[in-house]
Amino acid sequence: MADSTRDNRQHSIEVVVDLKTTLGEGPLWDVAQQALYWIDSADGRIFRSTAHGEQIRAWEVGQKIGSMALTQDGAGAIVALQDGLWRLDFGTGELTLAVEIEADLPHNRLNDGTVDRAGRFVFGSMDTMEESASGKLYSYSPDGTLSVLDEGITVSNGPCFSPDGSTLYFADTWTGEIWAYDYDVHTGAVSNRRTFATVDTSGGGAADGATVDADGYLWQALVYGGKIIRYAPDGSVDRVIDFPVRKPTSVMFGGPDLDTLYVTSMAKPPLPRFPGDGQLRGSLFAVRGLGVRGIPELRFGA
């Protein structure tokens, strides 16, 4: 990546919570509760804290978890587990199956997800060995309708929407590309898939979790590459932030002013071929002073 894109501004990177999550993922800031959620995909846990990492609460879900979205009433969440979507009641910790998915593919699991402007949960699946293109991109509506948006995917990652909700961004991690689709908010249909950006994998990194800021720029964690990349709406690289760990996994703006970029990381790589990290591995980080604000994340069923 060109040196001119390096972010030399006076931002700060600090550890908010040091839990050594095996596979930290999915930071989610809820504006109504002023609370931060994130997950440990490998250990099947959901965490919640304040903006500064205080008052930590945790829930066990008993399976690998790929992502989550708060339900409309804020009393629970829709969670993407190994074998389907489940509803989690925060008060009791009880899980209720919403829809079984890919039960015939034992080596697959559900992964990253987000909510569209109509309250649908858009998420993908992946091959746990990260080799077979057996995954799909799905949409699950509040009325219980499950739709397949795309298929032939190895590792689903980084679904997020443009500020007006009309463009869906998505990455199949090992293709080296971020895709953009035209998205019909009224029907939930996608069309016109195209390459939005080509990911620089020369340093061993790959596209992971992503979010879009209020200016329409896409931020993405370059897992195994130790960087956070900001892409302009035309797909060009706008900023490159070097990170203190090699395995940042996902990003989300949060905090009272939506101007803090929360970044999850993993303590242990899922496969032996991937690099390890130092003492800060698995931490939840906050990047402050970026001069950028995010977009409030929506709830399922909105």
| Encoded tokens for 281 | 């591995």
The residue annotated as part of the active site, out of 172, 208, 213, 277, is: 208
Collapsed DSSP state (helix, strand, coil) of residue 11? coil
208 is in an annotated binding site: yes
Our measurement of the distance from residue 57's CA atom to the centroid of its chain's CA atoms, rounded to an integer in Å, reads 20
73 is in an annotated binding site: no
Contact 51, 34 (CB under 8 A): yes
Q: Which of 87, 76, 70 is nearest to 31 (CA)?
A: 70
Could you confirm whether 7 is annotated as catalytic? no
- Centre a 10 Å sphere on the Cβ of residue 178 and count the other Cβ atoms it contains: 24
Alpha helices in 18-116 (DSSP H): none
CA–CA separation, 173 and 167 (whole Å): 19
CA–CA separation, 290 and 240 (whole Å): 12
CA–CA separation, 298 and 302 (whole Å): 7
Please enumerate in sequence order all residues whose Cβ is within 8 A of that of 96, keeping only pairs 6 or more positions apart, or say none. Answer: 86, 87, 89
109 is in an annotated binding site: yes
Q: Name the pairing type of β-strands 218-223 and 12-18.
A: unpaired
Binding-site annotation: residue ranges for substrate: 109, 111
Binding-site annotation: residue ranges for a divalent metal cation: 25, 157, 208
Binding-site annotation: residue ranges: 25, 109, 111, 157, 208
Which positions are annotated as active-site residues?
Answer: 208
